[in-house]
Structure 1
Amino acid sequence: MANRKVITVFGATGAQGGSVAKALLESKHFVVRALTRDVTRPKALELQGLGAEVVKCDLDDKALVEAALKGAYGVFVVTNFWEHCSKDKEVCQGKLVADTAKLLGLKHVVYSGLENVEQLSGGKLHVPHFDGKGEVEEYFWSIGVPMTSVRLPVYFETFLTTWKPAKAPDGDYYTLALPMGDVPMHGFSVADVGAVVSSIFNSPEEFIGKAVGLSAEALTTQQYADVLSKSLGKDVRDAKITPEAYGRLGFRAAKELADMFRFFQMKPDHDVKLTHL
């Protein structure tokens, strides 16, 4: 233990952080400091049982963040926009970690980032849950923190929740409403994030200073529908919805997600070959 470097993992009881913490524990190359707001929850106790040092932390608390990073070699950082739906708050959280990593001299930060869509589109598209992460990415690099950004595409798991097929009102089949037309959309299982991040921590010279777009594969909406048809044993079809119609669906993030799909149609850079390596 004394000879191994410490990796601090934010969001260790969540989907991304949990995958990273477990992969690092399995690799046995690092000591894992798993951060959570509630050290008594079952997932925290599970990580403790696997050998992690479980520590209470809150991204809004400067003192706790500094204590969590003190003595660490590196850190995996993930922030949750959907917890508060505030771009400004997410940027503040990310910059706090960046400033603390700089102050304490951490050697490698792996940040779960995304593109600044508003900037890339010249202000035409607004996707706050992307834009804030893009702003934080730039901040890490601007202050000289040795950082790798991993940019995840759509989670495959989302097809079981937010984007699960809906039964068509006029037929015995289901529809998949993704406003992508015939443009392939990248996808990735959140469960595989840990293996990728573990590899990045093991090869800092190859990845520090880079943004890595992850992707297991890119499929059209109908191809995703075909996969779901086989898995569910039900006929699933492309709903052929447009971004304009999607933005009018009425739920809280409809317009934001419509702009996200418009950005996806611009074919952001995701490297399937590198991801599979």
Structure 2
Amino acid sequence: MREVLVIGGTGAMGSRVVAALLAATGDTVRVLTRDPSSRAAEALLATGRVRLLQGDVGDDTSVRSAMESAERVFCNTDFFSSGSVQAEHDQGLRLLEAAREAGVDRFIWSSLDHAVSLTGGRLPVPHYDSKASVAAAIGLRRADEMMRKDSDGWYTNHVSVLTTAPYFENFQAGLAPRPGTLPDGREGLVFAIPLGSGSYPLIALDDIAWFAVHAFENWQAWGARDLAVAADSLTGDQIAATFERVTGRAAAYVPVPLDAVRSGMGDLGHDFAAMFEFFQTHDVVGRERDLPALRALHPGLLSFEAWLRTTGWCGAEEVVQKSPPAAVPAVSRSGADALPS
């Protein structure tokens, strides 16, 4: 029986990875957590197959102890704990080195798109670029291994990068639609998103977990071990239209100005405004994803419409993340009247 360590296992993504591992394998799953008494941690413990390890990814001693018996590691670090690109970058490299020294056989780094690089330096997105900088460092270490005859090839043979995307479940939390009067005069739900006329790259949390487990279980056979995933790419109007078609509830998209995000989300405002500006100006799915190939690999990959039908979600706000960021400010089409946040 293998031991799998999940870093970030009490979070929205990590908890789904834990559940997928438990469903698909006989592995013992361990989760490193600062607070074993938290509701999220206790929910994992209640499965009977998860072992909680108290510790902090910022503490070398607890990290090295957690890595000692782990054969596989899924790692999704939390940028918002520090709010620093440099801090998450350094944290990621320390985790990788601890895994290498412990002889971890399969390590998956959960990453995001390198916005500052993809936009030629024009548009940094801190919580994207910090994870992507670790992925870039992995690439540099692989290149170095190819040049060195004495290299153990650990980064080349034992590390995978899984680049993810925003998840549909965000609509249940910070982007939950609000009741209001639609532009056509009907009463319904307003999807207030700072997307402009851009496209939102999206995927279900359970599908991210599917790809993580598939990578672990098919390490040498699943194709290039670095994989960028998404399931759909929708404009705001398409999001609202799909929701109305599936649920029967009147809905409309109202674009939120980026300046409202910058001024209305506190310390997170500039980061999230930059992310949505990135989506407005860069077609992430069209340029960085191969949806037909992803669906060939995972035929059950859910589109937004399929996710709505599968989950039965009809617009209610739900708890998705253990520490959700502030809701995106919602404004009317005129930009004058604030909707509930």
What TM-score comes out, normalization by structure 2 length?
A: 0.72
- Secondary structure at the counterpart of residue 154 of structure 1: coil
Matching residue's letter, 1:270? R
Note if 1:30 corresponds to 2:30: no
The residue number in structure 2 matching 1:251 is: 265
* Contact 2:182 2:190 survives alignment (8 Å): no
Q: For the aligned residues, what is the CA RMSD?
A: 2.5
Note if 1:270 corresponds to 2:284: no
Specify which of 181, 189, 205 is matched with residue 220 of structure 2.
205
The residue number in structure 1 matching 2:170 is: 158
The 3 A distance-change label for structure 1 pair 168 and 249 is: farther
The residue number in structure 1 matching 2:307 is: none
Matching residue's letter, 2:172? L
Note if 1:124 corresponds to 2:140: no
Residues paired across the two proteins, number: 273
Query: How far apart, CA to CA, are the structure 1 residues paired with 2:39 and 2:263?
Result: 37
Note if 1:218 corresponds to 2:238: no
Matching residue's letter, 1:10? I
What does 1:63-142 correspond to in 2, within 5 Å?
63-142=61-140
- Secondary structure at the counterpart of residue 238 of structure 1: strand
1:234 shift after superposition: 3.7
The 3 A distance-change label for structure 1 pair 140 and 238 is: same
Question: 1:233-253 CA distances to partner (integer Å, 9 max, x unpaired)?
Answer: 54222214455x555553233
1:181 shift after superposition: 4.2
Question: 1:147-190 CA distances to partner (integer Å, 9 max, x unpaired)?
Answer: 22222212111112212224359853443233444443221122
**Once structures 1 and 2 are overlaid, which stretch shifts more, 113-122 or 255-264?**
255-264
- Secondary structure at the counterpart of residue 32 of structure 1: strand
The residue number in structure 2 matching 1:178 is: 193
Query: How far apart, CA to CA, are the structure 1 residues paired with 2:188 and 2:218?
Result: 47
1:88 shift after superposition: 2.1
Show structure 2 runs of 5+ residues with no match: 143-154, 299-341
What TM-score comes out, normalization by structure 1 length?
A: 0.87
The residue number in structure 1 matching 2:338 is: none
**Once structures 1 and 2 are overlaid, which stretch shifts more, 209-218 or 10-19?**
209-218
Query: How far apart, CA to CA, are the structure 2 residues paired with 1:105 and 1:255?
Result: 39
Note if 1:12 corresponds to 2:9: yes
- Secondary structure at the counterpart of residue 113 of structure 2: coil
* Contact 2:191 2:251 survives alignment (8 Å): yes
**Once structures 1 and 2 are overlaid, which stretch shifts more, 42-51 or 111-120?**
42-51
**Once structures 1 and 2 are overlaid, which stretch shifts more, 227-236 or 214-223?**
227-236
Q: What percentage of aligned pairs have identical amino acids?
A: 26
Matching residue's letter, 2:208? V
Matching residue's letter, 1:163? L
- Secondary structure at the counterpart of residue 176 of structure 2: coil
- Secondary structure at the counterpart of residue 193 of structure 2: coil
The 3 A distance-change label for structure 1 pair 209 and 35 is: farther
